A and B are shown apart, each in its own frame.
Chain A
């Protein structure tokens, strides 16, 4: 069965700091990978996705993620965060069939 692990539950950092959130999945075949964000009081929305091609994908709001197949990882990065990046971030994987499985989420607090 596919599963997704996000290593950090909570991250606190200051504005302009760099952010990297870890995501690992367990599935040996072809995967489609996603990062979603949930701002306070809002619904989940897509940040970026990977399904083939260049393993470095760029998303909205300056976020990017790198797919490393050998490490079963899809880490999210942003070089310089803003206060408005305060949110919860979820990694998700679609491997076998139609299931879309999410990780536990990482709550990010950016201090002004």
Chain B
């Protein structure tokens, strides 16, 4: 069983609010990822990190930001939520490029 946790699981929030989606892993993995997935659609990489104080933008442009101050923690922040941000956000981590990525349960975000 993978030890990667995302909170909250579900979030309904009003337009203009600031939100932070939490992702933590206890496996000591150096690489962490955020994906955005609409229902029944593909996973889009929006951010990744290969270690503390390193973050990179992914393939899909996103208004969200991330930080990696600690190895185990990779939060994603939206400064001003909009209905277009409604989606599922998946966090993953792994150790190396040949190893599998472990996924969290996801956060389903709805902005009204």
- What chain A residues lie within 8 Å of B40 (beta carbons)? 88, 105, 107
Question: Is A102 a contact of B45 with CB atoms below 8 Å?
Answer: yes
Question: Is B42 a contact of A103 with CB atoms below 8 Å?
Answer: yes
Interface residue ranges of A23-42 to B (CB < 8 Å):
32, 34
Question: Is A51 a contact of B98 with CB atoms below 8 Å?
Answer: yes
A1 to B60, CA, bound (A): 12
Interface size grouping (class) on chain A: 20 to 34
Q: Does A56 contact B (CB under 8 A)?
A: no
Question: Is A101 a contact of B31 with CB atoms below 8 Å?
Answer: no
Question: Is B100 a contact of A102 with CB atoms below 8 Å?
Answer: no
Q: How far is the CB of A38 from chain B (nearest CB, A)?
A: 9
A45 to B58, CA, bound (A): 21
Of A62-70, A77-85, A92-100, the stretch lying at the interface with chain B is A92-100
Question: Is B104 a contact of A98 with CB atoms below 8 Å?
Answer: no
- A1, A49, A99, A103: the one contacting B48 at CB < 8 Å is A99
Question: Is B59 a contact of A1 with CB atoms below 8 Å?
Answer: yes
Q: Does A61 contact B (CB under 8 A)?
A: no
Question: Is A43 a contact of B105 with CB atoms below 8 Å?
Answer: yes
Interface residue ranges of B2-42 to A (CB < 8 Å):
2, 31, 33, 35, 40-42
Question: Is B43 a contact of A98 with CB atoms below 8 Å?
Answer: no
Q: How far is the CB of A25 from chain B (nearest CB, A)?
A: 13
Most B Cβ at <10 Å: residue of A94, A99, A100, A101: A100
Question: Is B42 a contact of A104 with CB atoms below 8 Å?
Answer: yes
Q: Does B89 contact A (CB under 8 A)?
A: no
Question: Is B92 a contact of A49 with CB atoms below 8 Å?
Answer: no
List chain A positions with a Cβ less than 8 A from chain B. 1, 32, 34, 43-46, 49, 51-52, 88, 90, 92, 94, 97-105, 107
| A32-B98, A45-B103 known, 17 other contacts, Cβ within 8 Å | A43-B90, A43-B103, A43-B105, A49-B100, A52-B98, A90-B42, A90-B43, A92-B101, A94-B98, A97-B50, A98-B50, A99-B48, A102-B45, A104-B41, A104-B42, A105-B40, A105-B43
